């Protein structure tokens, strides 16, 4: 009887296995989000109510409440008909009140009243406008046109800047988006003043990019400040709408220092700006009046590696107290100050990383913030009072998105984890689960895909290194499998997270189905591990990172199911640097490598990022030489494919061209493939071509 049952069970498994769909590479590349799960996209609380909204497939607005299930309230077609628009989805959705919401496409702004079932176009700005930023009272819009700033208000347009020199750029991100900078326009809370970043790029070298879409080809010139060269000069402008006056703030420590993390005081009378020296090892938090007059330095921070403020001062209430996020004690924690520069209290003392302040409590006596939690793989919501009492709101480990109601009574919590595709919960103020709003089932259940495991290895310094292993669906531990190591390895990135698919791309599961083990390890320098873990890479990018990756290789070689003669490595950007480093500096380890958009010599990379980790070339000649890959081209033993977008403005093509030139000079054969007119990342339908090129190269050369 047992034998019959076993036969029936095996037969059932074979039938079930056969019914699974085959995951195609083009589907894995282009449809990852839609294949994994359905979610409550862009969920938001409706102000001053117990109702919430979200988007179904981005084109249907659904509304529910704490007591009633959600149902469709409006389609994008109905909205377009009402306002006379042609939007594809509810882009930039925002509730203005309990009845009215706004959407915009960046140039046209629409409002809609759900009680009246009626909408209108509220404002329209220039078609070539960018960086549109609304005032908090939604009465004015600041935006940029080329290198200038304009303000739309009540149908009238005011030109804030009128620079004759195109090298002066106002209202856009500066410092190449480092230091947490993501925009360049900042309305005062009083809505009568606008602050903005400005940069003078007169001394920054022009860098040529070839546009092949014209006949003949033409020059597209960009500003690109390379390590050790001349940099941009920043300033902060302050425009008074009523007085129509414009004043500027400049760095005090040097013309090419950095001005970052701008914030207004609640009364609009002062501005706080973090000033960082070019060496990025000294920061001053500066206080200015709204008239641009320097008041005082509130405090300073220094480091023997680097200082990298990424969060502006946060004011939890109308007082002069603010919260500053600093990793001065080894991890990003919250510190409460006043405008005299007095440290009132260190609010958190966690040995994990605070990520962002989400909002203040409605009473102004606490703030909600996200943090990694005890595990660096998580992304959780915490609350801390201004007296320093901390509590965890999201109790389930995983990666969370959350929205807090106006009165702090409820939290919408949507999360995924290793074995949770997506789950949306309604929580009370303390994080108690009140109800489940949605539990999604992964569409990947319909496909033949393997499993993923997370583990840790001990680095030489005793710290944990997290790794991810993806196995084929028909994995047999008695067989031998080739391995593809996918590597990034650089700062500000974490490849392995406690989320569905564990941070992996879906094409990795396709690769596993081709009979591969797909392996990734987050080495020293990776994000969300604290200062000690991240700063050991200082002045020697690539060195410690490779040591960690080789620990991962040693682990792989210890597994009986790994074919140690068939190891491949692939990565992009910093991962391209790591891939090429491993192929050239550890030539006996990998049989094949594919490096996309790689840094090959840090002297060719941008000032803001490169000098933070490597200092200037003349200050660290040994470090630059040790990690310049042109010094190791003669070492290549395996097959190497280099890939680059021809108009890459992040890692310029000079990196790959210099490396290819050195290969030619040394008589060493390798492969090179350009993606014409693509920037740093190959996107759109061409990405299928890219991943087919990458993975086929590995499969063909790793026999």
How many whole angstroms separate alpha carbon 682 and alpha carbon 227?
25
Q: Is the Cα torsion angle 441, 442, 443, 448 positive or negative in sign?
A: negative
Buried b vs exposed e over 214-230: b needs ≥16 C-beta within 10 Å? eeeeeeeeebbbbbbee
Q: Is the Cα torsion angle 283, 285, 289, 293 positive or negative in sign?
A: negative
Q: Encoding tokens for residue 345?
A: 């209290």
- How many C-beta neighbours within 10 Å does residue 388 have? 14
- State the number of CA atoms in the 13 A half-sphere of 650 facing the CB: 16
Q: Is 648 tagged catalytic?
A: yes
- Return the SS3 of 602: helix
Helices (H) and strands (E) in the chain, counts: 12, 42
Work out whether strand 118-124 and strand 129-134 pair parallel, antiparallel, or are unpaired. unpaired
- How many C-beta neighbours within 10 Å does residue 139 have? 12
Q: Which of 319, 680, 686, 689 is catalytic?
A: 680
Burial of 370 (0-12, 13-18, 19+ CB in 10 A): buried
DSSP summary character for residue 114 = T
How many whole angstroms separate alpha carbon 581 and alpha carbon 595?
10
CB 331 within 8 A of CB 374: no
Q: Encoding tokens for residue 521?
A: 């390890």
What is the 3-class SS of 481-527, one letter each residue?
EEEEEECCCCCCCCCCCCCHHHHCCHHHHHHHHCCCEEEEECCCCCC
Determine if the peptide bond prior to 390 is cis (ω within 30°): no
Alpha-helix residue ranges (DSSP H) falling in 558-618: 574-585, 607-614
Ramachandran class of 292: left when φ > 0, alpha when ψ lies in -120 to 50, beta otherwise: left
Buried b vs exposed e over 241-276: b needs ≥16 C-beta within 10 Å? beeeeeeebebebeebbbbbbbbbbbebebbbbbbb
CB 576 within 8 A of CB 690: no
Q: Is 408 tagged catalytic?
A: no
Q: Which of 108, 573, 644, 655 is catalytic?
A: 573
DSSP summary character for residue 559 = S
Q: CA dihedral defined by 401, 407, 408, 410, rounded to 10 degrees?
A: -70
Q: Is 375 tagged catalytic?
A: no
Q: Which of 581, 644, 648, 678 is catalytic?
A: 648
Active-site positions?
A: 573, 648, 680
């Amino acid at each position: 009887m047992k034998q019959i049952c076993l036969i029936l069970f095996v037969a059932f498994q074979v039938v079930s296995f056969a019914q699974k769909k085959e995951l195609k590479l083009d589907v894995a590349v282009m449809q990852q989000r839609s294949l994994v799960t359905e979610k409550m996209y862009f969920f938001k609380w409706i102000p001053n109510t117990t109702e919430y909204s979200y988007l179904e497939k981005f084109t249907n607005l659904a509304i529910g409440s704490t007591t009633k299930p959600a149902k469709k309230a409006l389609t994008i077609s109905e909205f377009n008909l009402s306002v006379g628009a042609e939007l594809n989805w509810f882009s930039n959705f925002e509730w203005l009140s309990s009845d009215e919401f706004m959407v915009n496409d960046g140039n046209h702004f629409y409002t809609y009243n759900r009680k009246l079932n009626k909408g209108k176009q509220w404002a329209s700005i220039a078609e070539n406008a960018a960086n549109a930023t609304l005032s908090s009272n939604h009465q004015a819009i600041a935006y940029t046109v080329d290198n200038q700033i304009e303000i739309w208000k009540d149908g009238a347009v005011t030109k804030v800047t009128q620079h004759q020199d195109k090298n002066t750029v106002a209202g856009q991100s500066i410092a190449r988006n480092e230091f947490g900078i993501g925009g360049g326009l900042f309305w005062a809370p009083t809505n009568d003043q606008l602050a903005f970043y400005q940069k003078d790029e007169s001394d920054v070298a022009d860098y040529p990019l070839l546009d092949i879409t014209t006949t003949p080809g033409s020059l597209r010139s960009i500003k690109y400040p390379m390590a050790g060269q001349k940099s941009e000069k920043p300033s902060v402008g302050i425009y008074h709408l009523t007085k129509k006056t414009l004043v500027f703030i400049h760095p005090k420590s040097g013309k090419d220092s950095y001005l970052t993390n701008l914030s207004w005081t609640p009364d609009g009378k002062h501005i706080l700006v973090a000033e960082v020296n070019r060496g990025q090892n000294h920061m001053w938090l500066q206080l200015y009046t709204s008239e641009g007059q320097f008041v005082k330095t509130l405090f300073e921070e220094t480091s023997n590696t680097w200082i990298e403020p990424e969060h502006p001062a946060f004011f939890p209430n109308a007082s002069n107290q603010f919260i500053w996020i600093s990793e001065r004690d080894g991890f990003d924690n919250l510190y409460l100050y006043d405008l005299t520069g007095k440290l009132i209290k260190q609010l958190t003392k966690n040995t994990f990383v605070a990520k962002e302040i989400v909002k203040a409590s409605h009473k102004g006596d606490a703030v909600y913030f996200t943090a990694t939690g005890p595990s660096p793989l998580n992304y959780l919501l915490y609350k801390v009072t201004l007296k320093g009492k901390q509590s965890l709101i999201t109790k389930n480990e995983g990666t969370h998105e959350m929205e807090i109601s106006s009165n702090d009574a409820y939290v919408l919590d949507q999360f995924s984890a290793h074995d949770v595709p997506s789950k949306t919960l309604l929580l009370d103020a303390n994080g108690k689960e009140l109800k489940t709003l949605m539990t999604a089932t992964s569409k990947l259940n319909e496909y033949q895909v393997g499993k993923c495991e997370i583990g840790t290895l001990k680095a030489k310094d005793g710290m944990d290194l997290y790794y991810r292993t993806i196995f084929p669906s028909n994995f047999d531990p008695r067989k031998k499998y080739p391995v593809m190591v996918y590597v990034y390895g650089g700062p500000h990135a974490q490849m392995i997270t406690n989320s569905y698919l564990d941070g992996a791309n879906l094409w990795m599961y396709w690769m596993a189905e081709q009979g591969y083990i797909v392996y990734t390890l987050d080495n020293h320098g990776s994000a969300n591990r604290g200062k000690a873990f991240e700063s050991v890479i200082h002045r020697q990018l690539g060195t410690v990172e490779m040591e960690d990756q080789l620990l991962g290789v040693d682990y792989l070689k210890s597994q009986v199911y790994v074919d140690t003669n068939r190891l491949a490595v692939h990565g992009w950007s910093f991962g391209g640097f790591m891939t090429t480093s491993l192929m050239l500096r550890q030539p006996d380890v990998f049989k094949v490598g594919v490096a996309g958009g790689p840094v090959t010599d840090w002297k060719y990379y941008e000032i803001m990022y490169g000098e933070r980790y490597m200092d200037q070339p003349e200050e660290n000649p040994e470090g630059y030489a040790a990690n310049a890959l042109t010094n190791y081209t003669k070492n290549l033993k395996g097959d190497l494919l280099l890939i680059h977008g021809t108009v890459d403005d992040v890692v310029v093509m000079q990196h790959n061209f210099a490396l290819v030139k050195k290969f030619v000079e040394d008589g060493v054969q390798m492969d090179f493939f350009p993606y014409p007119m693509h920037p740093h990342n190959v996107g759109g339908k061409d990405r299928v071509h890219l991943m087919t090129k990458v993975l086929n190269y590995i499969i063909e050369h790793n026999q």
